[in-house]
Amino acid sequence: MKITEIRIRKMKMMMKKPFTTSFGTFQEKDFLLLEAKDELGNSGWGESVAFHSPWYSEETLETNMHMIKDFLVPIVFENDIRHPDEVSELFSHLRKNNMAKSTVEGAIWDLYAKRNKMTLAEALGGTRNKIEVGISIGIHEDVNELIDTVAGFVEEGYKRIKVKIKPGYDVNVMRELRAKFPDVPMMADANSAYRLKDIDLLKQLDEFNLTMIEQPLASDDIIDHAKLQPELVTPICLDESIHSLEDTRKAVELGSTKIINIKIGRVGGLTEAKKIHDYCMEQSIPVWCGGMLESGIGRAHNIALTTLPNFILPGDTAGSSRYWEEDVISPEVIVEDGYITVPEAYGIGYSINQKAMDKFTVEELIFRT
């Protein structure tokens, strides 16, 4: 297939409510969407999960723009791509910048699936027609407000509750939550807010029967996590530390992690995500799909990936209405009883809500061969 046109949209969407992690608060979401078109008039969409600021990783919307415009688009235009698995290969001589690479690769996966009249889930080898979902809840300084928020999402049917923690907002908060919700599957995400010296505090979390603790230590660490894991009953799940199949293998071999959070953008695209999934399945390491507060485009990619068989834990792919008054896709992503039904239309399976898409577009760049 020949890619003949690429359009990049700079987007700005307002979140319904601010979302706070140990590294910062999101309210306005600035990000990129990318549309790739082929010589037959098919079109595919990808989303950059890079944020406005380098909080979660070093990539930003602007570094992604630079990478895509100056390096990735020329490569895609110069090559005849037979299968989307070739894209990460074509990008492999360029270091890191995984979220930028994933944006382009994601659009090509969608395009490929549409061109071949299959769903993205089918193109990836997915086996489910509905996926089980959990929800990630940001830091609420008022614990009673947090409890009300959790109660609302439990009521809506979400299958597991993840809460963000940070130093000073951890054992105390989890104790109150566990007392209120004794049977709800629960986990905590520290987003790298602790160090090995906090081991006594982290051990106290074992009391609450958490499904896992996500990324307690440094964002680039696998060594200290390997020292921490044997001291805890609670399984560690790595998020920020995992950028590739190789990172996954090393973390698993060292015993740094018992569960992997796969984020398509963080690992450089769906092809690498699938490799990590397959390796973890062989190693009996469960995986789940993380979230980056995506619009409907990124959400649709996450849903398709989650149809693979080793996604056995509920992920963070909540419904559109959890984040947005109006999403850029139609229909929006709907969660019923803790499940999302995988769409049956070709490619990502959702249409573009053109009115919303245009309303939230700040700038559009067009590249043609």
Q: Which of 159, 166, 263, 274 is catalytic?
A: 263
| 263 counts as catalytic | yes
Per CB under 6 A, 20 contacts ligand OSB? no
Can you tell me which of 38, 189, 247, 272 binds ligand OSB, judged by CB under 6 A? 189
Whole-number minimum distance, CB 323 to Mg ion, in Å?
16
Least distance between Mg ion and beta carbon 53 (Å): 17
Considering the complex, state which of residue 293 and residue 342 has its C-beta at the smaller distance from ligand OSB. 293
Among 292, 303, 305, 313, binds ligand OSB (CB under 6 A): 292
Q: Among 140, 73, 43, which residue's Cα sits nearest to residue 348?
A: 43
**Is 164 an annotated catalytic residue?**
yes
- Residue 264's nearest CA partner among 256, 276, 247, 253 is 276
Binding Mg ion (rule: CB under 5 A), the pick from 35, 59, 110, 189 is 189
Candidates 191, 256, 257, 271: give the one binding ligand OSB (CB under 6 A). Answer: 191
- 121-136 burial, b at 16+ Cβ within 10 Å, e below that, comes to bbbbebebeebbbbbb
- Beta strand pairing call for 259-262 and 287-289: parallel
How many positions of this chain bind ligand OSB (CB under 6 A)?
12
The tokens describing 63, both together, are 């570094």
Token readout for 330 is 């139609």
- Indicate whether 247 belongs to the interface with ligand OSB (CB under 6 A): no
Selected catalytic residue, list 164, 166, 258, 274? 164
Residues within window 86-145 making contact with ligand OSB, judged by CB under 6 A: 136
Rule CB under 6 A: say whether 221 interacts with ligand OSB.
no
Instruction: State the Cα angle at 57 between 56 and 61, rounded to 5°.
Output: 95
User: Does 156 belong to an annotated binding site?
Assistant: no
**Count of alpha carbons within 13 Å of 239, Cβ hemisphere only?**
22
Phi, psi of 340 (to 5 degrees): -110, 130
Calpha distance 262→116 (Å, rounded):
26
Q: Which residues are annotated as a binding site for Mg(2+)?
A: 189, 214, 239
Residues that bind ligand OSB (CB under 6 A): 21, 56, 136, 189, 191, 239, 290-293, 316, 318
Catalytic positions, please?
Answer: 164, 263
